[in-house]
Structure formats: C-alpha cells, structure tokens
Amino acid sequence: MAIARQGASQGQNAKRVSIDVGLLPYNEVFTDFLRKQSAQGRPLYLCTATDQRFAKQIASHLGIFAGVFASDGHVNLSSRNKVSALKDAFGMRGFDYCGNSTDDIVVWKEANKAIVIGNQKIAAAATRVNQNTTIFQHGEYPIFSFPFKKTLKAIRVYQWVKNILIFVPLLTSHQFTELVSVRSSLIAFVSFSLCASSVYLLNDMLDLDTDRRHTRKRLRPFAAGDLSLQFGIFLMLGLLTASFVLAILLPLKFMLVLGCYYMLTLAYSFKFKKMMLIDVFALASLYTSRVMAGGAASNIPLSSWLVMFSISIFLSLAFLKRYIELDEELRASGASSASHTSSTGRGYLTEDTSMLRSFGTSAGYLAVIVLAIYLNSTDIDLLYSHRSALWGIFALLLFWVSWMWMSAFKGKIHDDPIVFALKDRTSLVTIVLVVFCMLIAI
C-alpha cells in the first residue's frame, strides 16, 4: 500500500509539472557509450523510477532505447519493483543493469552484470552482491572521491581577481608599505573571495535552466550535472561561514560592508538581475563595495573623489557586462539588433544593445571627467609632489575605456570585464603604466 500511494503521488506530480528534457544534464561520455552499444545491435531499455511521462520524453530525446520501464502512477518502479519488472521481461540474469544509487543494489544482485556509474563506494557495495561488476568512471574523482577540479570551477577561483579592488584604498592613500594595513587587506581579500564564491554557487543553482540554454554556461558544473545541488548547498554554507569568521578579525565596519554586499547579492540573485537598469546599478554597487571593504578593513577613509570615480567606472563596466551577454545572444541566434527578442533571464530586448552601449560609454567617460576635475583640485597637493605626472593616468584611462568598449563591440570579450582586463595584454600594460605614473607623482 505504501508503494502504491507513493506511486500515485508521483503520478499526480508528473501531471502538474512539465520539463524540457533537452536541458537536462546528460553524462555525455556514458550516453556515447550507450549509442555505440545500440549501433552494435544491442537492445537498450530505459529503466527508471521516474514517471513514465518524463521517461518516455527522455527516451525519445536520446533515441537509443528499444523500450521504457517507468513508474505509472500506481507502482513506483524502484528497488524491488524494478527487479520484478526486469525479471518478468528478461528472466533471471537475463540483463545487465547500469545505475548510480544504493537503491540499485537489489537490482544488481539479480542482474547478469552490474555497471556502476562514477561512484567507488557504491561499486564496492555492488561487488558484494554481484562479482561481475564494472565501474563506468566519468570525470575525475581524486582522493575520497571528492571532485576537486569541478569544485574549484564551481566556486570560480579565477573570479577572485575582481577582489583586488580591495587593495585600491591602500594604493591611493600610499599605505601599501604599512604591514598592518597590508595584512588587514589580505584578510579582507580572502574573506570577500569566500563570500563571493558562496554567491556564485547560489547563482548557479538558481540559474540552472537559463545556464543550460547558454552556449558556454551549460558547461558549468551544476548545469552540466557534474556536481549535485546537495553538495552545492553544503559548500555554499561552508564558504559563507568561513568568510564571516575571517571578518571577525577585522574592524566592525568591514563586517557591515561584507554583510551589505551579501544582502545586495541575494537581492540581485533573486530579483534585481531580472530588472532592467536596476541590475546594472546593483552590479556597479557590488564592484564599488569591494573598494569600500578595502577602506573599512584598513581603517582608511575614502575620499568623495574615489567614491564618485568608482561608481562611474564600475557603472560603465556593469553596462559592458550586460552588453556582452546580450551581444553574445545576438551572435548565437543570428538575430538583428533591431529585433525584439527577449534576453534569456534578463529584463532586456536584443534591440537594447545600442542603448546599453551608449549608457556604458557615457559612464566610462564620466569617470574620466571626474578624474580630470580631481587632478585640478587642491586636494591632490596633499598626496602628490609632482601632480603633472598624473595627467598620464587621465590619458591612459581615456584610452582604456575606449579600448574595452571597442573590444566588446568586436566580440572579443566573453567574460566579466574586470577578469578580462586582468588577462588582456593591452589592459595589463595600461595598468602598469598607471601605477608607474602614480609612483612618479609621489
């Protein structure tokens, strides 16, 4: 009776829910193996506890199965029910069975051959009930079967370069030689990086459907099915806890900035990223919060000039990020910028690319103007002995803003603009020259 009720409940849920089977994360290596088996004339059957409505859709999508065994709304085809169905169809030891769950152990016990997909512990359990057991390994599972490479990819360690912005107050206040300030900034860098990674995990778990429709994002560990959502939730909470534990070592105002950053990222993840213009202003605020965090960690007061400059330049980069995403969709679909196609998961139409480009370049040149006004102010005499050298920074920034937008227009940027800048040779040379001009001015 318990099984029948469970099956009926599952059937009712299946009637209320629809899925796009083309967006499900398939183990490509394993499906390739199955296609080869099918091509050799071996009959394959999809046997799953999933409702038959979904199972038939998946079987039709893959096109390699001769038939389907699935739950039908009355019987949940798992564990012993699955064994009975297979024995009735093929007889004792008349089938090989592929699986990846402890629920499959009772099936392997009655199978001719047990094929375990990518789990050493379950393979060991399968071997105890069936000596004819092989493991089909997918991906890399090092010590203790922990997917280190996939985890590092999921937390996006390469994105930590954006948190170099935390060191900006050290540079602009000329405190980069004070060990206490440098130590505080380093702790803030690690704390912010861990917090940011927890947010990346949350975003990826929330954006599964849209990521699976994207040409590049579909390869992210959660979208590709390389990491489970349960593992992602555990890792997200662990990183977030570690971040705030480190923040305890720094002044309270750093903790406040970090808390505001996290709350804003949550608002962005759940709401703001789908709201036109609100999303880019939120992104600019997230960039700026890194600079504010650096000042808070080292007790360095931020000048109004630095705040105005940061907001302007990061607003330009936020528009640039959104422009890149929209432009990629245009290039992938072959649509015209004059079309009215909606951006996947965003509040823009493809025809908005020209407006985003206008807003973004305007914000970038506004940052250059703010810098020019600062260079003409009396405030600069307090920090620099040779202020004329700073005009080199004005010229370099004017060039860099133009360079970034031209690169995006030509389709050369495929990542976060700051990450791209720290990989791009021209941008790196520009950064070195800016630091050189600043050192000469001191």
User: What does the pLDDT look like over 165-188, one tens digit per residue?
Assistant: 999 999 888 888 899 999 999 999
- Of all residues in the chain, the percent with pLDDT exceeding 70 is 87
pLDDT for res 442: 82
Question: Among all chains, which residue has been given the structure tokens 């089938």?
Answer: 95
Check residue 75 and report its DSSP letter. Answer: S
The pTM (predicted TM-score) of the whole model is: 0.70
CATH number at residue 321: 1.10.600
Q: Three-state DSSP class for 178?
A: coil
Q: Which residues contact 15 (CB under 8 A, 6 or more apart)?
A: 53
> How far is 28 from 182, CA to CA, in rounded Å?
47
Question: Is there a single domain that holds both residue 306 and residue 347?
Answer: yes
Helix (H, G, I), strand (E, B) or coil at 98: strand
> Residue 268, class by beta-carbon neighbours within 10 Å (0-12 exposed, 13-18 middle, 19+ buried)?
buried
Residues 303-359 pLDDT 10s:
999 999 999 999 999 999 999 988 887 776 665 555 555 555 567 887 788 899 999
Same domain? For 174 and 131 the reply is no
Print the domain residue range for 107. Answer: 2-145
Distance CA 34, CA 50 (A): 19
Given a cut of 90, whether residue 430 has pLDDT beyond it is: yes
Looking at residue 341, the DSSP 8-state letter turns out to be P
Choose the most confident range, by mean pLDDT, from 23-27, 136-140, 299-303: 299-303
126 and 220 both lie in a single domain: no
Split into its structural domains, the chain has a count of: 2
Report how many helices (DSSP H) and strands (DSSP E) the chain contains, helices first.
Answer: 18, 5
Q: Are residues 136 and 166 in the same domain?
A: no
Which two tokens mark 44? 């394959």
| pLDDT value for 407 | 93
Is residue 154 assigned to a domain? Answer: no
Contact (Cβ atoms closer than 8 angstroms) between residue 31 and residue 37:
no
Enclosing H/E stretch for 115: strand 113-117
Higher per-residue confidence, 245 vs 83: 245
Average pLDDT of the chain is 84
Residue 370 contacts residue 346 (beta carbons within 8 Å): no
The answer to whether the CB of 260 falls within 8 A of the CB of 266 is no
278 Rama class: left (phi>0) / alpha (psi -120 to 50) / beta: alpha
Q: What is the mean pLDDT of residues 48-54?
A: 86
- Compute the C-alpha angle 216/221/225, nearest 5°: 105
User: Is the same domain home to 129 and 169?
Assistant: no
Give a yes or no: residue 151 inside a domain. Answer: no
Phi and psi (nearest 5°) for 25? -80, 105
Pair (193, 88) in one structural domain: no
In a domain, 184, yes or no: yes
**Per-residue pLDDT tens over the stretch 254-310:** 999 999 999 999 999 888 888 889 999 999 999 999 999 999 999 999 999 999 999
Residues 341, 225, single domain; the answer is yes
- Claim to verify: residue 262 and residue 390 sit in the same structural domain: yes
Domain containing residue 60: CATH number: 3.40.50.1000
Question: What DSSP line would sit under 350-408, residue for residue?
Answer: GGGHHHHHHHHHHHHHHHHHHHHHHHTSGGGGGT-S-GGGGHHHHHHHHHHHHHHHHHH
Q: Are residues 23 and 108 in the same domain?
A: yes
Q: What pLDDT sits at residue 3?
A: 29
175 is a domain residue: yes
227: left (phi over 0), alpha (psi -120 to 50) or beta: beta
Q: Angle 265-269-271 (CA atoms, 0-180°, nearest 5)?
A: 110
Q: Is the pLDDT of residue 9 over 50?
A: no
Residue 207 shares a structural domain with residue 118: no
pLDDT of residue 416: 83
Q: Quick one: 393 and 323 in the same domain?
A: yes
Between CA 74 and CA 82 the distance in angstroms is 13
The two structure tokens encoding residue 336? 């015209």
Structure tokens, 52: 């038959």
Evaluate whether residue 153 is within a structural domain: no
Same domain, 107 and 173: no
pLDDT band at 18 (very low <50, low <70, confident <90, very high): low
User: Which distant-in-sequence residues (6+ apart) come within 8 Å of 273 by Cβ?
Assistant: 279, 282, 345, 346
The answer to whether position 150 is within a domain reads no
**Among 203-217, 344-358, 388-402, which range has the highest average pLDDT?**
388-402
R_g over Cα of the chain = 28
